Structure 1
């Protein structure tokens, strides 16, 4: 192509890598596949996410496919769109006396050449780059163009891939040193730390800090690089502690990096400058959200006379295009996320504009209304969707609740915390619900039904958490306040909820005879008012109390069946599940073990419709453990009881709060332990407690728990090669017959060259099979493949 391209070796101008390339196996495979079908591929993503490194790595690995070279054109420092073609020509080494350095001249020069052009950092020159790319692709059939940009070019034939941050451990993950290599962010951090401190190593002592750093930096490669550079003067723990001021800490970039990448602040400034004034206003206002947002919330909270609600959708689309925010998940409602570093930047701009208090108030009001809507529509076909939305909004709810209990008014804080009663209870967030209710109740006390509701919800949570004295004191306050409130034209449902909660306190204490008339009193009021949620709750506990209060458990069946049918008729899920669980308890007491197991399994299946439901799951696992014990399936029973115990611990609750259930629990454990012996029982109980939620459900429904392949550690060097695994089991994972052969050869320890010789194929073909296997199994090393295959053999 030019004098610069005639030297021996690969054709092109890609610079040599000066640091190792970590992770991105899935993205590498995806980009290569896209380039095989599309002549223009654009890598989009936030600043610092690694688009340039990925693009250059793809180019480096695909050089053999482009006989006329892979050419990098760096556009970050260019400001004049009229010079884009000139800059490309200069990168290609085109001599002006031979070819005109404009789009037509470049098209003539590249016509008939098989080359890959990498246009790097095009976001501020999108129009000019789009025009040039379209001209070149029309005239040069063998040309491929790979673009990196915070927004796509938006021309015909373009394929786009959004580059996400590196994988990070889940917030509740308890990682060990052996687990960390599974996460790309941790691998990058460790590799760079080793370069700064040659003696650096992952240990049990620093593993948790590394995990927390990866989570705090959100898997952003640039942020990780900048943070690790501080290891010259700070410890990992000090870096983690100082991340509260990221912009000040993360200012230690390499001197040869572009200016915008030498500090995190400069990188975000670059994105800010690319935005229009309205986009900047929306960016700053969106910073009030935490953990993501949905369109309807943004339209209500961020709109005013400067920014109309009708304009929000297009502005969000533009911010997505510019990688300021990203769409996350694939649920029925589009949801958007802003990286924390970008959110903090926007928050600073919002404060500078003096808008923070007003936007925070609107944010609080919006989520308080969402909570009120969820409470009012609990007993409806929308229940599962409402609960899922509240779970997605957990971070926003916390921010809004904090504002409500610090800024008031008290009525808003009390109503907000109490309206989330089902969220606290069903999800198992009992301690968090208690925290917010306590703070709201500590505010200046209004004489209002909202305070009565907050008091009785707090009382109910205290009852479930086995704090009976507090439960009784809170309910007494609720009853006293309700008596002093003036009568209204329409009675408050709290007049029925008070005896309902009082009956629950009695029932949990084992006084079923006292609970029954209280439940009957509440039931009459709820039925007269048409309060479905209260009526279903009352029917469920009334049936349970009736069945536990006599020697004939069947006396409780009619109320439980009525609750189940009423819930089913109204599309309600949770109380239907609870009623089935209660039915399983009464059947078990009546000696109908098979019927008890059937009802408990149905309860579990119905409860699964409410995603991440915890309370009912713990109850169903417990009941199935009792039934299994009665059938002398002792290993199964012990594991189910262990799984149930894990759920209760996670909720910071216990069956000991319900005297009758505690007695049944202890009775079942004594029987099963007596038959198994202490050692076998404890081992099985521990195995059950170590199961994930999904595995526990599989076990409860008599399905074998699935083992997560990615969790299998790599084998040690001395591990012998395992025997072949079942081809049918490997095919289930989407592995082709040839890949199945290769995976077994990897497990034997063969190199790519040896695999190629064994299969009589080219070495490059063998390498391709290995890459595909790693991609399909989400692994980064051959050792992980071997360990995974050995584990599949064992299980």
Structure 2
């Protein structure tokens, strides 16, 4: 039985759900196995597809997940690829990334995952876990125990050995399907190729000799541009004869695959073999620019990389992936492992890993600069897709003698991603690893890399609400920076210490430190998103101290600079302050417009802090417009987000005052019962749903509310927010 769906089709014409990989060529065979696996998933919450390398486990599981996802038993499907994860400590971060889970607290990542999945009806595909089996087994067991609606489809060369697991061994293709696969892939290279009486026997015998392993068959088909089926069979037969001593000897399937890969390797040109080996330094996908820089030179000119890469794609050694207009490349694990052995044998692995590290260090540096530009969203997306390679570069630096300072610099340089794109927990993981490592006799340049990691660590810890470690890191950074005369590090340490004072309600100290930091930035000519954020934080401090006009002036200045540079992330926080000012003046339409823009920006960058602050203030604006029910609902939506951000409203009296005002007035209008009902309705909204509702892209129905004769305050004319501590920034 054969599948006839086209490569861009999901099941029954649906697009591929979740983040399952797009199929770029036809899925062949496996109809019976797909039906059996679907039944296994219906009957068990953990099914593990096992099989030898090259048997097609990943693609088979992705197809099965796509088919299962359209059933009413699931409200979503997600896939996490652990093949690129080398350290057990990163498994949970990889899963959080696959779930698009932005948690900015200092809670253990496992607790975050358990809480997120607890009430979801989700099918989770966990692929490529075998090198991390103990860690993955424990995590899978905990997830299934905590989330009754979760089902897991695991994919690996061995079972997880978790209680309740159903093992689904995947066999090679049937001979007929293997021959069809060969013909399909050959036709992509040689239009018009098909099985007929002149070639069928040779093709079938090639597939038989390759044990009908899909990867081995595809590698063989990739050779038809240079070899006829009879020539291909003869060369393959010679290869097997060398290994078995006769044409009758049988090889184990893992040796069959290795033989097929090795045979394909032998048929490559010297340049193709060299590029194959060098490409193995990449973790996951890569683009052409990276391949040309890292792999070019010393026997392979950079200008020739594209042509050689194209040949490896034609031979199924490299896979070409497309996402929109972007083209990226990757290697299957078995092929990559074979090439990595050759790279080690060439004695070139260390040099290539350093070139890999240098490229991604340069990418991070460029992105840090470009974050302060109209390309912020592009930068965020680029770092997201390159995260596996950045992790590999960080791991190399932090484990290689003499390279630690570069790891500290790289972790610090990615501050904009950790803080601006909801990756605080992983950022803190790398930053803490970096600053805990001491190199022997580091020079001043090495020390400056550590200073950057320290102030970024302090910043991340502040945003997580972890004030003691934050203060310790910032104090160490400032002391060492003053000793070295590093004015830049001093300014950042002072700035972030001022931010810490702000959220802990020490307003005089916050204002003093923030003004000192801004003066330091001006003196050294530093201007970027972080510097402007310092000005917004100063605006919050002066507003809390009673000078709302001064706060507006500071934020209007930030707004002009952001618009001039195309900056969006910091702009959202400036607009938030301006929205509060508009509300105090009774200009509710302007306040709502500004907050909608804040929410769109926060959603773009997965910035939960900016999102939840804007929702809180929008609830107050909505109440002032006369809709107490919607205000309560928005407070409920914000309440759901706060546990993923940290201590609600930082535990600050100043930041909390508008929330308390809104809750008090809405409760008075609705009555306790109705108020709590609408809060509960809001608490069921996902962050994305709450943002969509708030900006008018769609609103879920809400329960009816009985009108109340009690008026709602529409402007704060009866109180002095700044003087009474009710102003927020």
Query: Post-superposition shift, 1:682?
Result: 5.0
Query: What does 1:63-212 correspond to in 2, within 5 Å?
Result: 166-167=62-63, 178-179=73-74, 211-212=124-125
The structure-2 alpha-carbon separation of the partners of 1:180 and 1:539, relative to structure 1 and needing over 3 Å to count, comes to closer
Measured at CA, do residues 214 and 400 of structure 1 come closer, stay the same or move farther in structure 2, by a change above 3 Å?
A: closer
Indicate the residue corresponding to 1:50 in structure 2: 27
Q: Secondary structure at the match of 1:328?
A: strand
Question: Hey, what's the Cα distance between the residues in 1 that align with 2:452 and 2:256?
Answer: 50
Offset at 1:272? 5.8
Question: Is 1:538–2:534 an aligned residue pair?
Answer: yes
Cα deviation, residue 265, structure 1: 6.7
What does 1:369-388 align with in structure 2 at a 5 Å threshold? 369-388=362-381
Post-superposition Cα deviations, 1:169-191, rounded to whole Å, max 9, x if no partner, equal: 69xx9999811898999xxxxxx
Task: Say which SS state the counterpart of residue 407 (structure 2) adopts.
Answer: helix
User: Structure 2: how far apart are the matches of 1:381 and 1:571?
Assistant: 4
Secondary structure in structure 2 of the residue aligned to 1:334: strand
Question: 550, 556, 561: which is aligned to 1:561?
Answer: 556
Q: TM-score when scaled to structure 2?
A: 0.62
Equivalence map 1:679-758=2 (5 Å)? 680-682=674-676, 684-705=678-699
| 8 Å Cα contact 2:3/2:28 also seen in 1 | no
Rate the CA distance shift 1:289–1:26 in 2: closer, same or farther, 3 A: closer
- Alpha-carbon contact 1:455-1:475 (below 8 Å) kept: yes
Displacement of 1:569 in angstroms is 0.8
Q: After superposition, what is the alpha-carbon deviation per residue over 1:698-743, rounded to whole angstroms, capped at 9, x for unaligned? A: 2111231589xxxxxxxxxxxxxxxxxxxxxxxxxxxxxxxxxxxx
SS across alignment from 1:336: strand
1:573–1:607 contact (8 Å) kept in structure 2: no
CA 1:359–1:176: 2 relative to 1, 3 Å: farther
Structure 1 residues 29 and 250 mapped into 2: Cα distance closer, same or farther (>3 Å)? closer
* Cα pair 2:602 2:608 within 8 Å, conserved: no
Between stretches 365-374 and 348-357, larger displacement belongs to 348-357
Establish whether residue 578 from structure 1 lines up as the match of residue 573 from structure 2: yes
Query: Pick from 592, 596, 609: which aligns with 1:597?
Result: 592
State whether structure 2 residue 644 is matched by structure 1 residue 656.
Answer: no
Q: Which runs of 5+ in 2 are unaligned?
A: 14-21, 35-58, 81-116, 131-151, 162-167, 179-207, 214-252, 702-729
Match of 1:628 in 2: 622
Larger radius of gyration: 1
Moved more, 300-309 or 325-334: 325-334
- Map 1:339-738 → 2, pairs under 5 A: 339-340=332-333, 342-407=335-400, 408-444=402-438, 446=442, 448-485=447-484, 487=485, 492-533=487-528, 534-550=530-546, 552-588=547-583, 592-607=587-602, 610-651=604-645, 654-656=648-650, 658-673=652-667, 675-676=669-670, 680-682=674-676, 684-705=678-699
Q: Deviations over 1:638-666 (max 9, x none)?
A: 34334434444445675325553234334
Once residues 423 and 454 of structure 1 are traced to their aligned partners in structure 2, the CA distance between those partners, rounded to angstroms, is 14
Asked if 2 retains the 8 angstrom alpha-carbon contact of 1:414 and 1:454, the reply is yes
Output the CA distance in 1 between the equivalents of 2:342 and 2:660.
Answer: 58
Shift of the 358–640 alpha-carbon distance from structure 1 to 2, 3 Å rule, reads: farther
The count of residues paired between Structure 1 and Structure 2 equals 522
CA deviation map 1:476-531 (0-9, x unaligned): 1111111221x4xxx64222212211110110111222212222222222223321
SS at match of 1:532: coil
Does the CA-based 8 Å contact 1:553-1:590 persist in structure 2? no
Residues 364 and 663 (structure 1 numbering): CA distance in 2 closer, same or farther, change over 3 Å?
farther
User: Residues 465 and 650 of structure 2 are in contact (CA less than 8 Å); yes or no, is this contact kept in structure 1?
Assistant: yes
- CA offset at residue 562 of structure 1? 0.1
Alpha-carbon separation, structure 2, partners of 1:22 and 1:421? 47
- Any conservation in 2 of the 1:465–1:657 contact (CA below 8 Å)? no
> Equivalent residue for 1:280?
273
Change (3 A) 1:585 1:210: closer
For 1:517 and 1:286, locate their aligned partners in 2 and report how far apart those are by CA, in whole Å. 52
Cα drift, residue 381 of structure 1 = 2.8
Q: What's the Cα RMSD here? A: 4.3
Q: Quote the offset at 1:412 in angstroms.
A: 0.5
- Cα distance in 1 between the residues matched to 2:456 and 2:592: 32
* Distance across 1 between alignment mates of 2:646 and 2:317: 38
Question: 1:435, CA displacement in angstroms?
Answer: 0.9
Q: Which runs of 5+ in 1 are unaligned?
A: 1-16, 32-42, 58-162, 186-203, 218-235, 708-795
Q: Distance in 2 between matches of 1:619 and 1:269?
A: 59
Task: Pick one of 283, 301, 313 that aligns with 1:308.
Answer: 301
Shift of residue 436, structure 1, vs aligned partner: 0.7
| Paired residue secondary structure (1:305) | coil
The Cα of 1:26 is off from its aligned counterpart by 5.8
User: Cα offset for 1:582?
Assistant: 2.3
Counterpart CA distance in 2 for 1:168 and 1:651 is 35
Please, which moves more after superposition, 21-30 or 311-320?
Answer: 21-30
Distance 1:655 1:672 in 2: 19
Q: CA deviation at 1:30?
A: 12
Q: Check whether the contact 2:612–2:642 (CA below 8 A) recurs between aligned residues.
A: yes
For the residue of structure 1 that corresponds to 2:281, the secondary structure is coil
Q: Structure 1 CA distance, aligned partners of 2:7 and 2:366?
A: 44
Q: 1:140-180 CA deviation, whole Å, 9 max, x = no partner? A: xxxxxxxxxxxxxxxxxxxxxxx99845769xx99998118
Secondary structure in 2 aligned to 1:242? coil
Question: Whole-Å Cα distance in 2 between the matches of residues 315 and 427 of structure 1?
Answer: 37
Distance 2:552 2:78 in 1: 51
How far apart are 1:341 and its partner, in Å?
Answer: 5.0
Provide Cα deviations, 1:459-478, integer angstroms capped at 9, x if missing partner.
11111111112211111111
Structure number with higher relative contact order (C-alpha < 8 Å, ≥ 6 residues apart): 2
DSSP-derived class of the 1:212 partner: strand
Distance across 2 between alignment mates of 1:471 and 1:331: 41
In the TM superposition, what is the alpha-carbon distance from 1:575 to its structure 2 partner?
1.4
Tell me what 1:741 maps to.
Answer: none
User: Which secondary structure state, in structure 2, belongs to the residue aligned with residue 211 of structure 1?
Assistant: strand
Name the SS for the 1:374 alignment partner.
helix
Deviations 1:87-146 (A, max 9, x none): xxxxxxxxxxxxxxxxxxxxxxxxxxxxxxxxxxxxxxxxxxxxxxxxxxxxxxxxxxxx
Task: Please give the alpha-carbon distance, in whole angstroms, between the structure 2 residues aligned to 1:621 and 1:418.
Answer: 30
Report the Cα distance in structure 2 between the residues aligned to 1:656 and 1:429, rounded to whole angstroms: 19
Q: Measure the CA separation in 1 of the matches of 2:23 and 2:258.
A: 15
User: 1:184 & 1:505 partners in 2: Cα distance?
Assistant: 38
CA contact (8 A) 1:544 1:556 kept: yes
Asked whether the equivalents of residues 426 and 616 of structure 1 are also in contact (C-alpha less than 8 Å), the reply is: no
Equivalent position SS for 2:329: strand
Q: In structure 1, how many angstroms separate the alpha carbons of the residues matched to 2:343 and 2:614?
A: 48
CA distance 1:284–1:646, shift in 2 (3 Å):
farther
Cα distance between partner residues in 2 of 1:237 and 1:591: 54
